[in-house]
Every structure is written in C-alpha cells, then in structure tokens.
A and B are shown apart, each in its own frame.
Chain A
Amino acid sequence: DVKVTQSSRYLVKRTGEKVFLECVQDMDHENMFWYRQDPGLGLRLIYFSYDVKMKEKGDIPEGYSVSREKKERFSLILESASTNQTSMYLCASSYRTGVRSGANVLTFGAGSRLTVL
C-alpha cells in the first residue's frame, strides 16, 4: 500500500522553538507539498518541491522553510515557532504532470497537529 508518512501526529512546542516536520513518501513521486489546514480557511499551500533540492513558495510561506535533500523526504521547518502557527499540517505527494497529461492525484499523509504555546 502506497504511503505518505508524517513522522509526528501531535506536537506541542513553545514559542521561539525550532520545529521540524518530516514527511516521507514511498511512491517515487517527483512532487511534494506542504499544506496548512485551519477551520474555515481550508487548505493553504505553504511550499512545494518538484525535484530534489528544488522548492517553490506557495501562498503562505512566511515563517516557514523547507528542505528536500532526497527524493522521498520533504521537511517543513519553523525557524522560530509562534502561536499563530498552531495548526494541522498536511504533506502530500504526486507524480510530475506534463502539459497534456491527465488529472494527477495528490496522496496525503495523516497530518501533524502542531500546538505552539
């Protein structure tokens, strides 16, 4: 069964701490994504990566950075956590789409619920 695995389901951190959220996929997908999910706001894209060492900003990158040193692993980093970063974080992956390819499918992990005190 193909999987996207997020290392931590629940984390509690203090303001100012550095936080790492890890995501690993076993499907040899080129694309990987980090979304943030908040009630009433839906899913918002933080960063995505379409290849090793490549990254692109999404809609809300401020306060976050990412790392992709290996194809299967995509890390989200909060350099100095703040209370407004308390949220559910979802990692996803997909094959790279071509200009004329059919609809592609994102496969999501179970999510990491982060609380910043």
Chain B
Amino acid sequence: GDSVTQMEGPVTLSEEAFLTINCTYTATGYPSLFWYVQYPGEGLQLLLKATKADDKGSNKGFEATYRKETTSFHLEKGSVQVSDSAVYFCALREYGGSQGNLIFGKGTKLSVKP
C-alpha cells in the first residue's frame, strides 16, 4: 500500500540555519503531497501542498518540490527561527481517492535554539 517515509528526529538547529527534512513516498498513480506542522499543544495545520510533478509548494519561507523521478517531497527553509520549533509531518493522498484520507509519515520534531 501507499506509504510515507520521513527522516527521524529530533532535529536541533541554531537560529538562521538551513533546514532540510527529507520525505519520500511509495504510491500507485499520482498522489497529492502535503506538509503539515504541529506546534506544541495544538493540532496539525497545513503548511504547504503540491498536486502534480514538479509543482513547488511554499508558505512562511518553507518550500517543497514534488519530484516524481525520486518520489520525494523534501521540506526546506533557508533560515529557521525559534518560532519554527514544531513537529513536521509529510503526507500523501492517492490521486482519485474519493474519501480524502491522508497517509502520514511518523513526524520529525524540530527544535531551533536562539
């Protein structure tokens, strides 16, 4: 079945460092891909998404590009802030999936130190 694999954390960075969180997927067809973020004590919220190959999703300085050839959707940010400390989840939805269910990776916890 479909699955998502993302790098294990925790990841600890200093403020203004460059961030990459790797995400690869296994799916039949052409899934839509998502990054969700969960701040401490809160539910998940959508960070960015991409629906087809070579699409780039971006939001709040974060970017991810849908790479079909490598089945990847890595999350990047050029300069992280303390406020970016959170758990990040990569997810996919199978193309044509009528129920809208997402398959999530296990999450990567990011801690940014001042």
Contacts and interface: CB of A to CB of B under 8 A. Distances in A.
A48 B89 contact: no
A41 B104 CA distance: 10
Interface residues of B, number: 25
Contacts of B105: 42
A51 B42 CA distance: 27
Tell me if B's interface is mostly helix, strand, loop or mixed.
Answer: loop
Nearest to A108: B43
Interface residues of A, number: 31
Interface stretch (B14-22, B75-83, B95-103): B95-103
B9 to A, nearest CB: 10
B106 interface: yes
Interface stretch (A63-71, A75-83, A95-103): A95-103
Interface of B: 32, 34, 36, 41-46, 49-51, 89, 93, 96-102, 104-107
Interface of A: 4, 31, 33, 35, 40-43, 45, 48, 50, 56, 58, 90, 92, 94-100, 102-106, 108-111
